[in-house]
Structure formats: C-alpha cells, structure tokens
Amino acid sequence: MKNKKEKKKSRYLATVGGQALMEGIMMNGPKGAAMALRMPDGSIEVTPKTMKRLKDKNKFWGLPLIRGPVNFVESMIFGYNCLMESAEKTSIDLDSGEEEMSKLDKWITDHFGKKMMAVLGAVSAVLGFLLSFALFIYLPALFFDKVLVRFTGIDVMWRPLVEGIIKVMIFVVYMASISLMKEMRRLFMYHGAEHKSIFCLEAGEELTVENVRKQKRFHPRCGTSFIFVMIILSILIASIVSVVFAGTAITKVRALWVAVKLLILPIVMSLGYEFIKYAGTHDNVCVTILAAPGLWMQRITTREPTDDIIEVGIASLKAVIDDDKPSEPSAEETPDEPETSVQETPAEAKEENEP
C-alpha cells in the first residue's frame, strides 16, 4: 500500500505546468490558472486567471493528435496575454526601483488609449510569427539551396538533417544572446523557480523555500524540451517525405518544400505534444534520449532563483492545487500540456503549460 508521500506524488505528477513572466509566474493546475507577481512595493499579488478552451466546447479538440496544435495555439495566446499583463503591472527600473513606462508607450496610451496598445501587441505577435517562419523554416531551406547545393553539390536527401541542424544552431545562438539581457536573466530565474516548485510538488514535499531550493531546475515537460522534440520529429518526418518524393519537384523546388514543411507542422506539433505529455510520467531510454537536448538547453533558459523569486513560484503553485482533494486525478482531469515557453510546455494550458 502506498504511503502518504507516494500518493501525493502520483496525484500531482504531470498535472501542473506554467510559464515565467516578467517578475512573476503563471501556473496551471487542478484548480485552474493563476498568476503570481512580485509587485514594485515588494508584495506578491496572486490573480486567478480564466482560460477558454475549445475542448470545453467540443470534445473533438481534446482528442490525441488533435489537441497538440490546438493547445499550442491556445497556450501561446494565453501566455502572451499573461506576459503583457505582468509587464504592465510590474514595469519597474531594476536599478532605481522606480516605475517606468517608455515614452513611446506612454504617448500611445495617452493619445489612443489601451485599445491601441492591444492592437500593437497583436501586430507584434504577428511579426514575431513571421520572424519565426523566416528564421526556422525559410532561411534553412534558402541556405541549403543557395549555399550547400551550389557550392558542395550535396544531395537533396540530406536536406531535412541539414535544415534541422541549422534550426538548432539558430535557436541556441538566439537564446544565448537574449540571456545576456538583464530583463531576460530575471525571466530565466523565474523560469527556474517555476521548475523547482513543480518538482517539489511532484516529489510530495511541503512547498517551502528550503524544499524548493534543493530541487533540480531542469524539467522534462518544459517548453524548451518541446521545441527540441519538434525539431527532432521534423527531421524524421521531413526525411520520410524526402525519400518518398525523391526526385520530384517537392524536394527540388524551394517554395514547394517550404509549403510541405508548413503542412507537416501540425503533425510534428501533435506528436511532440504527445511525447512531452508521455515524458512527464515515464522514465525510459527513449524519453531520456529525446528529452536530453531540451534539458541541456535549459542550462541557458533557466537560472538558479533567489529565495524571493522562489516565494513567487510557491505562491503561484499553491493557488492552483487543491490539497484537500482525496483521490488521484483521472485522465480527463490531468493537465497535459508542455511549457510553452521556449515555451517554455500546460493543463493543456491548464494541463501542461511548460513547466
């Protein structure tokens, strides 16, 4: 018979996930979502959040292999809104401690109101998507055609592997570069606190600063791991497509190849999501191998948090768990989303937001 600690561990394993914010953490769990922020006056503000999910309207959107892309998009939108809200509420100069709004933001808010800021936020999100498309889909294909094929005569059958390597290089360089920014270092400390708090809960230990501090900061359900799993899966699936359509226009014409990569993206996301969900509750050779790159990358995307940051992680986690719940969650109740985070994976945002 399981002892009390083992029961608690199995009860919360893979049922919570979250995302680091500006001076805060958003968590999803059995009780829903909540955002905990360290305010400029030093207090911790905890705000319950509501996430509207398509699967709540129609169970079809919650089916395996369907829920992956749906949860990814929902989590991205929800996480982005929480991030913007956290930036607005905690906007301070880290050196002076004074509240600060950029002159441009202040001018826009004064003349056009907050609706215009929301529009600009949406535009920024679209531009971010276009930049991601250019960097991770179009640029690798362009480099392969214009540089490697032209100067080395490499066979197109190597395209998926080469493009996958280029994606990894771009991602690593990008994350390493932004980690040098003061604000991002703080964000990555909150990311570390999120992981440590979740590990502490899953281990069945009391949520105290001391217990959280001693936990690992590298979590297999993190959105960083999700990104690497997607890259690995994209290489495998694209390789299959390359072999099946070898010698056709699909592998030779860049525009068609880019279109194919866009078409297989939902498949890659679905399989990646299911793997991260599986990895959260299993420990075997396959999980270890596929999760390893993401765990290595977390050495960049997470940092050891200070005690005051750990306190925020604990506050966000306590707001979404129910210690009085007597039984383990069923498969329907268990959140199953990775960290969206970079990504970060949600409870299907509630389900597996990236620890």
| Residue 210: Cβ within 10 Å count | 11
Assign 194 a pLDDT band (cuts: 50, 70, 90). very high
Contact 301, 191 (CB under 8 A): yes
Mapped onto helix, strand or coil, the DSSP state of residue 27 is strand
Residues 335-349, mean pLDDT to the nearest whole number: 38
pLDDT > 90 fraction of the chain, expressed in percent and rounded: 33
Q: What is the pLDDT of residue 111?
A: 53
pLDDT above 50: residue 335? no
Could you tell me if residue 340 is inside a domain?
A: no
pLDDT above 70: residue 290? yes
Could you tell me if residue 348 is inside a domain?
A: no
> Tens digit of pLDDT for each residue in 163-176?
999 999 999 999 99
Cα distance between residue 352 and residue 337, in whole Å: 3
Could you tell me if residue 352 is inside a domain?
A: no
297 vs 123, residue with greater confidence: 297
| Residues in the chain, total | 355
* Total count of domains within the chain: 1
What's the one-letter identity of residue 101? M
Could you tell me if residue 297 is inside a domain?
A: yes
Model confidence, pTM: 0.77
CA proximity to 276, closest of 353, 188, 204, 192? 353
What's the one-letter identity of residue 165? I
Q: What is the pLDDT of residue 220?
A: 81
Q: What is the pLDDT of residue 98?
A: 43
> Tens digit of pLDDT for each residue in 302-331?
999 999 999 999 999 999 987 654 434 333
Could you tell me if residue 327 is inside a domain?
A: no
Could you tell me if residue 59 is inside a domain?
A: yes
Q: Helix count (H) and strand count (E) of the chain?
A: 15, 4
Phi, psi of 33 (to 5 degrees): -115, 155
Q: Among 45-54, 120-129, 250-259, 342-351, which stretch is predicted with the lowest mean pLDDT?
A: 342-351
Cα distance between residue 29 and residue 163, in whole Å: 37
Report the mean per-residue pLDDT for the chain.
80
Containing 28, the helix (H) or strand (E) segment is strand 24-29
Assign 210 a pLDDT band (cuts: 50, 70, 90). very high
Q: What is the pLDDT of residue 25?
A: 96
Could you tell me if residue 354 is inside a domain?
A: no
Mapped onto helix, strand or coil, the DSSP state of residue 276 is helix
Contact 318, 27 (CB under 8 A): no
- Tell me the residue range of the domain where 40 lies: 4-317
> Tens digit of pLDDT for each residue in 37-81?
999 999 999 999 988 888 888 888 888 888 888 888 888 888 888
Tell me the two tokens of residue 259: 């279109």
pLDDT above 60: residue 105? no
Residues 17-34, mean pLDDT to the nearest whole number: 92
Residues 90-117, mean pLDDT to the nearest whole number: 53
Could you tell me if residue 326 is inside a domain?
A: no
> Tens digit of pLDDT for each residue in 109-161?
555 555 655 666 677 778 878 888 888 889 999 999 999 988 888 888 899 99
